[in-house]
Structure 1
């Protein structure tokens, strides 16, 4: 079967045209369900059946766990496909093979193969595929017909049970944790969200989890038992013990059911990254026991230490100090607050924040507001966003209850807001040590990161 469709009016002439079409499909919104992706993959020859997947779900920590797994597997000389979302710099970031983005020529060829099938589907009762469905199909074609990696590290987009990534049959399943996120789509309670995420657990496929909420942990355990999937849960079957913690280096010991490993180090900040690294180590141990994966201890140590993950407690400027962290839900904001207390030193804390409208804003702000000296509230450059004035109303209400920022500034334009944040650092008293933090939705993080590091706009999105 040819890899490229005939050059008809439906074909694209450049990768930019192809990506523009895909991104434009966001107008179809999010439509959970596997019917369209199954039909699309059948039409494309089911390339997913040729691949070994590590399927990763969870409220927070998915991206970090995927980064740890990719780094260690590559250090051990395995070829690795990595599919993640959202992306921070360009659309191609989310489809990587051995750490490199998909190239334009391959992307164009594969999208021209997908487009006619997507058009056919659009004319049926199922309707046009969504942006995420096309992107998932593109990833499966890329890995299953072009690169053929030894493992695909496969991150869910939203939830799990009805997420289109759930079309695959993994060799191991990971659920990092369960928290309050996307409650408009996944359900209003932790139990509802846990059931959706537990939907990626497959019969007989081992499951690794760090879910600490008792109700969520119980649902994951019950689902694993019902599907005869061996469960490895943080705090029960495996654990970690911090040995030393300082900025840009955390050393810990790992204890698992098969062995213990001492003095592993990660350079990602925040104690939550120790849990993420332990989850990755347990996942690799499962692959070692079940599938004869070969990862020498020195490769494990180097892979964990060398892992980087942009936009998560990332210091992007030293003068003034500007820290980026995509804490977009209560659990993420709690982790950020803990990291600020435990790792970073400062006399004054200035925070710039923007949020999406479907988040638990009050519970998020409660974790960090009492620590903040100046809060700059802005908006992401994205069609779905929470108005800065609305978020400011929440912050002012909480300030009356909790105390916190002496100054709450509303500036909807994120570039002007960033200027205000930087100016406030330069105007601080000479004896004061100011830390500026940009946090909230990853759509804001993507723009600020690209602007500060490269002086360019980002192409961030799902």
Structure 2
């Protein structure tokens, strides 16, 4: 039986991660045994290769400023498991995790007994706990981030008010497909009949796939750059500035603490989602909620400055699409001083391409390191990775330091007032680093 928080987490994390044949039937059966909690909530469903978390954070803050209680379901967590289920940005308590785990436990055991492929996976259990919690009435609206893909993701049992697809890029190709249109088809799996869809900046070929699925489902489609527009106005004093327009709604000078022109795209998606939510629910649009919500939004681990002197930034860029965005940001706004990039990457990612791309920035030195991957997933071996990457202008990697704590100390000793240390490559890696650097010093 489960009585403590540690026992609850051991049970959840002890489950299988994937089944051989992905299906939503098991998830549907699981939820029906629980009393179909997913059918008792109002939700906005968010998919995409990158930008899901930031878009969710922007939207949560806008809706909160509008006086709503906002639930959210995100993954992975950065510091503590409870972050995955939160209300107004506050994670649920340890006691609630125990209570929810105790509720799902007997059903999981029963499904283990009767289903040929066994009962729910780890993520299916967490998803069911989320639906169960929010079905109790803790939030007016729940923002649900897709775990992986969309079509067969366990969150995709939900019938949302609104669907959002942020970006389509290269990630999880062994599961989602080896072309952007194939990946787009999986993400477009969250589109439901007649439910409006808001789509970010997406290349033409994958966008056509999304448009086709939306048309088939008779779902109204709003695309960034077509039905609504954003214009980046540059970076100043660690703030990104931009303008936004959609129909009669225009904002000339919005600011956000989330850095990068890709974050202005995410903010635009959030604003358009809010406008559409207001329209669907016959709520007045509150411009002050938008302005304050965007300005107040913080999202840990997204180009987050965690030290001023020296300048240390962490970013969870964990695939080639995200690294491309970071490289553009560095080459545009961080040309002064030297940038030391400490990278730890999971072995199942396009690690060599990520390192090669990062090394194209003129004032960057890449240092490779290693960290403990989650569960059975391994971090890429930094020495093997160094040998694999192609040489860019003589040398791509300036150093390999296996122990990341040692790497931090070595790099920090080199930093001048104009330099920056950027730690990136994996959300799991920066989670470890963030805990270490922000821990109270004895």
Alignment TM class, shorter chain as reference: over 0.9
Q: Secondary structure at the match of 1:199?
A: helix
Q: Secondary structure at the match of 2:266?
A: helix
Pair 1:161-2:151 in alignment: yes
Query: Does the 8 Å contact 1:175/1:211 carry over to 2?
Result: no
CA distance in 1, matches of 2:248, 2:111: 48
* Post-superposition CA distance 1:335-386 (Å, at most 9, x none): 1111212233542221111112222233322321123224233233433122
After superposition, give the CA deviation of every residue in 1:32-81 in whole Å (9 maximum; x if it has no partner).
Answer: 32121111100000111111111000000000000001111111110111
Find the counterpart in structure 1 of residue 296 from structure 2. 306
Q: Contact 1:320/1:426 (CA < 8 Å) preserved in 2?
A: no
Of 393, 396, 400 in structure 2, the residue corresponding to residue 409 of structure 1 is 400
Q: Is 1:422–2:409 an aligned residue pair?
A: yes
Cα gap change, 1:54/1:435 in structure 2, threshold over 3 Å: closer, same or farther?
same
In the alignment, what sits opposite 2:184? 194
Paired position in structure 1 for 2:68: 78
Mapping for residues 94-113 of structure 1, pairs under 5 Å: 94-113=84-103
Greater Cα shift, 315-324 or 191-200: 315-324
Q: Pairwise CA RMSD of aligned residues?
A: 1.9
Which residue, 32, 56, 68 being the options, matches 1:66?
Answer: 56
Q: Quote the Cα distance in structure 2 between the aligned partners of 1:389 and 1:302.
A: 46
Give the C-alpha shift of residue 110 in structure 1.
1.6
2:32 paired with 1:42: yes
CA distance in 1, matches of 2:399, 2:342: 10
Aligned length: 436
Distance (whole Å) between structure 2 residues aligned to residue 404 and residue 355 of structure 1: 19
Match of 1:138 in 2: 129
Are 2:362 and 1:377 equivalent residues in the alignment?
A: no
Q: Is the 8 A contact 1:204 1:227 kept in 2?
A: yes
Distance of 2:179 and 2:440 partners within structure 1: 41
Structure 1 residue 438 and structure 2 residue 423: aligned?
A: yes
- Quick one: distance in 2 between partners of 1:91 and 1:66? 18
2:79 paired residue number: 89
Maintained 8 Å contact 2:184/2:206 = yes
CA distance in 2, matches of 1:28, 1:335: 30
Aligned runs of 1:315-330 on 2, under 5 Å? 315-330=305-320
Post-superposition Cα deviations, 1:248-299, rounded to whole Å, max 9, x if no partner, equal 2122111113432222221110111000000111111111222223441111
Question: Contact 2:368 / 2:397 at 8 angstroms: preserved in 1?
Answer: no
Aligned pairs (5 A) from 1:213-252 = 213-252=203-242
Q: Structure 1 CA distance, aligned partners of 2:27 and 2:243? A: 41
| Contact preservation (8 Å) 1:314, 1:324 | yes
Conserved 8 A contact 1:355-1:380: no
Q: How does 1:176-195 map to 2 (within 5 A)?
A: 176-195=166-185
State whether residues 339 and 365 of structure 2, in contact with CA within 8 Å, keep that contact through their aligned partners in structure 1.
Answer: yes
State whether residues 201 and 265 of structure 2, in contact with CA within 8 Å, keep that contact through their aligned partners in structure 1: no
2:119 is aligned, of 128, 134, 137, to: 128
Q: 1:201 to 1:168 in 2, by over 3 A?
A: same
Contact 2:382 2:400 in 1 (8 A): no
Using structure 2 for the length normalisation, give the TM-score.
0.94
- The offset of 1:231, in angstroms, is 0.5
Cα distance in 1 for residues equivalent to 2:41 and 2:251: 30
Query: In 2, Cα distance between the equivalents of 1:321 and 1:287?
Result: 39
Distance 2:430 2:148 in 1: 19
User: Which deviates further from its counterpart, 151-160 or 342-351?
Assistant: 342-351
List gaps (5 residues or longer) in structure 2: none
Query: Distance in 2 between the 1:224 and 1:188 partners?
Result: 22
Cα 1:436/1:69, change in 2 over 3 Å: same
Aligned residue for 1:341? 331
In structure 1, stretches of 5+ residues that fail to align are 1-10, 457-462
